[in-house]
Structure 1
Amino acid sequence: MEFLTSSNKILISIKIIILFYAINIYAKDIEVISKYCKINWTQNYIECKGISAEGQSRYSAIRSAEIIAKSHILEFVQGIKITSEINVKSALAANSTIIESLNGAIMGARVMKSEYLKSSGYGEAYVRLNIGSDILESILNDPSIKIVSEDNFSFFSTNLYADTYYSNQELMTIRKIYKDLVDRDKNRLPLLSYVKTIINKIEDTKTTGIIIDATGIENFEIAAIPRIRDEEGNELYPKNIVSKETIFRKNGVVCYEAILNDAQKNKRVASSPLVIKAKSIYGHKTSDLVIDLKNKKILLLNKKLLRNAKVLILLSL
């Protein structure tokens, strides 16, 4: 019996180890990797490696490796989709000032790590650019690029239902309506209980972010600025909601995850995100996601979260 017990303990230990490694294997960021570069769409950055020629001094080798890594970024970044219609390469072709701005960002790319192999006299360097605060800032600050609007959020007219979501911003107004009804002795009006229901729902629901669930959506392509649309094609996000400054500060309009459990823990959407299911892509716009009417109302009633770009897209691997 002792032998069987020991065997069982060994088997249990092995299963725990396998489970631990399985969690680490599958709980990965969404990355696109080439020979010298990778783009991380969960944390929204590009990182490239540069390798110098051999037979150099430490300073020369590392400096050369950094310059080579930055040249790899310049080449790699041009293939990134900004929206369904525009990639970085086409934006650069459209305006020479963007080239200067992006070159400046690349020259200032952060060196994440550098190494020198003394025996061979060559160096390696890894440099990084952020998608939002570096690349998009270089492009969107050019007035000729009309991708996102500078306008304030335009409120869409929607029918009010007590079983939908309301933002905390609306709570003060609803409380005042409720108090007015009470003060005027209109307690018997059906509207009173309706408003009270809304207040209770807001107080019970503290949504900290929005997850757009695009799992199972065929042909969706990752972009730095994906669009969320309704079934008629009207753009709901980010147009007229997120300012350029917020995009740069939050390092992008959205981030991406591939596992719901990871997405629900992502700091961008914090501890209690709302999950909205996408229906499809919008026609040939492969980076635009469509949501139905019910989810449109829910999305637009979370204005504060949208304005702060607290949005994550969940993808299938």
Structure 2
Amino acid sequence: MLHHFRMIIALAVLGCVIGLAAPAAAQVDWDKGRITAVGIGTSPMKAMSSAQRRAMALRCGTIDARRKLLETVKGVQIDSVTRVEDYMVSSDRVESRINGMLSHSQILGAREMDDGSVEVTVGMNLHGTLAELLMPMEEPGSATNAPVNTAPAQSRQVEPEPLAGEQVASLAPVDPIPAQQPSGEVSGLVVDASGLGARPAMSPRLYDEDGNEVYGARFVSREYAIQQGMAGYAKDAQSALDNPRVGGNPHSIKALRVAGKARTDLVISNEDAAVLRTLAANEDFLEKCRVMIVLD
């Protein structure tokens, strides 16, 4: 009987693999730092009991959901030029680790449908183990390169995008621009990128108008970046200002335009950049990733 049950389960898994016509239902919640996916499972053959039928449908639904979760994870943008899939293709170790995480992804819910199928929701965090595997290994004050060209696309010739992992921004000193300083101790940073068509990423960057990097992986504590992400995202300015991540007195700036192939990096004015550098020299809100970005 046990052997017969195992054979039924094996056939159920095979049925899940060849019967995946249901539309994908997966999403990345950048606000909460979580990826979720929904799968539908049905029993591929007549079961010996209703409990066995439901168990096989649940198994199929879980396999379907995790397949969709994998496809969504592959498309997550790490930085302006690199997606998770790029790392998986270039590294067997990364691919193996991610597949292992997916096979143990949490089942968040399961409900039986009227037709006997089972809808399964699975999820995994963007932060923690996944971020530790994928976040750039950059240290504060690491080697510098020439500033990146952040001019609007319509006013310059198209130039080749930097390769994945290439250091493209400069940490060289920039002449300060007089600007009004925020009052009181600053607890975080809110960057309003609404209306620009910016997109979220695990490792976004801020540049000044001259292409010098103001915020990125080399400006943060890797521990904080892994545990909570380099930046949080919100859909409106008030939600960003009220988010506990940036504390009670965040400094707010408006992005001028997007940069990078994937539109995940932002350009701020030289004046705002000068103020931010001064604040960051005396306080640790950037190091602790206390940054919120407002998207459309």
Same structural fold, with TM-score higher than 0.5 when normalized by the shorter chain: yes
Q: Tell me the C-alpha RMSD between the 2 structures.
A: 2.6
Q: Which amino acid is 1:124 matched to?
A: E
Q: Map 1:96-111 to 2 at 5 A.
A: 96-111=92-107
**Bigger shift: residues 51-60 or 120-129:** 51-60
Matched, 1:38 2:27: yes
Distance 1:278 1:259, change over 3 A: same
Which residue matches 1:26? Answer: none
1:168-218 Cα distance to aligned partner (Å, 9 max, x none): xxxxxxxxxxxxxxxxxxxxxxxxxxxxxxxxx5xxx2322211111232x
Which residue matches 2:164? Answer: none
SS in 2 for 1:67: helix
1:286-309 Cα distance to aligned partner (Å, 9 max, x none): 211111222112222234111111
Distance 1:220 1:236, change over 3 A: same
Q: C-alpha separation between the residues in 2 aligned to 1:71 and 1:238?
A: 32
1:164 to 181, 186, 192: 181
Q: Which amino acid is 1:164 matched to?
A: Q
Q: Which amino acid is 1:128 matched to?
A: G
- Contact between 1:233 and 1:282, CA under 8 Å: does it hold in 2? no
1:130-168 Cα distance to aligned partner (Å, 9 max, x none): 12224322323xxxxxx3413469895765969424xxx
Q: C-alpha separation between the residues in 1 aligned to 2:67 and 2:266?
A: 33
Q: C-alpha separation between the residues in 2 aligned to 1:110 and 1:158?
A: 50
Q: Map 1:214-293 to 2 at 5 A.
A: 214-217=193-196, 219-250=197-228, 252-282=229-259, 284=261, 286-293=263-270
1:62-111 Cα distance to aligned partner (Å, 9 max, x none): 23322221111111211221111111111111111110111122122122
Q: C-alpha separation between the residues in 1 aligned to 2:205 and 2:250?
A: 19
Distance 1:162 1:213, change over 3 A: closer
Task: Measure how far apart 1:53 and its partner are.
Answer: 1.3
**Bigger shift: residues 96-105 or 298-307:** 298-307
Distance 1:228 1:221, change over 3 A: same
Q: C-alpha separation between the residues in 2 aligned to 1:148 and 1:232?
A: 25
When the two structures are superposed, what TM-score results if normalisation uses the length of structure 1? 0.67
Unaligned runs of 5+ in 1: 1-33, 141-146, 166-200
Q: Report which of the two structures shows the higher radius of gyration computed on alpha carbons.
A: 1
Q: Which amino acid is 1:292 matched to?
A: S
Distance 1:285 1:78, change over 3 A: closer
Which residue matches 1:92? Answer: 88
Q: What number of residue pairs does the alignment pair up?
A: 236
1:230-286 Cα distance to aligned partner (Å, 9 max, x none): 122122212322233211211x21121121121111222233321111111236562
Q: C-alpha separation between the residues in 2 aligned to 1:106 and 1:156?
A: 43
Which residue matches 1:52? Answer: 41
Q: Which amino acid is 1:103 matched to?
A: N
Q: Which amino acid is 1:35 matched to?
A: A
Task: Measure how far apart 1:310 and its partner are.
Answer: 0.8
Q: Map 1:104-123 to 2 at 5 A.
A: 104-117=100-113, 120-123=115-118
- Contact between 1:149 and 1:243, CA under 8 Å: does it hold in 2? no
**Bigger shift: residues 304-313 or 257-266:** 257-266
Q: C-alpha separation between the residues in 1 aligned to 2:94 and 2:227?
A: 20
- Contact between 1:105 and 1:138, CA under 8 Å: does it hold in 2? no
SS in 2 for 1:220: coil
Which residue matches 1:306? Answer: 286
When the two structures are superposed, what TM-score results if normalisation uses the length of structure 2? 0.71
Q: C-alpha separation between the residues in 2 aligned to 1:67 and 1:283?
A: 35
More helix, by proportion: 1
Q: C-alpha separation between the residues in 1 aligned to 2:284 and 2:174?
A: 17
**Bigger shift: residues 129-138 or 39-48:** 129-138
Q: Which amino acid is 1:233 matched to?
A: G
Distance 1:39 1:268, change over 3 A: same
SS in 1 for 2:69: helix
Which residue matches 1:133? Answer: 128
**Bigger shift: residues 228-237 or 238-247:** 238-247
1:124 to 119, 130, 137: 119
Task: Measure how far apart 1:60 and its partner are.
Answer: 2.8
Q: C-alpha separation between the residues in 2 aligned to 1:234 and 1:208?
A: 23
1:295 to 251, 272, 277: 272
- Contact between 2:42 and 2:58, CA under 8 Å: does it hold in 1? no
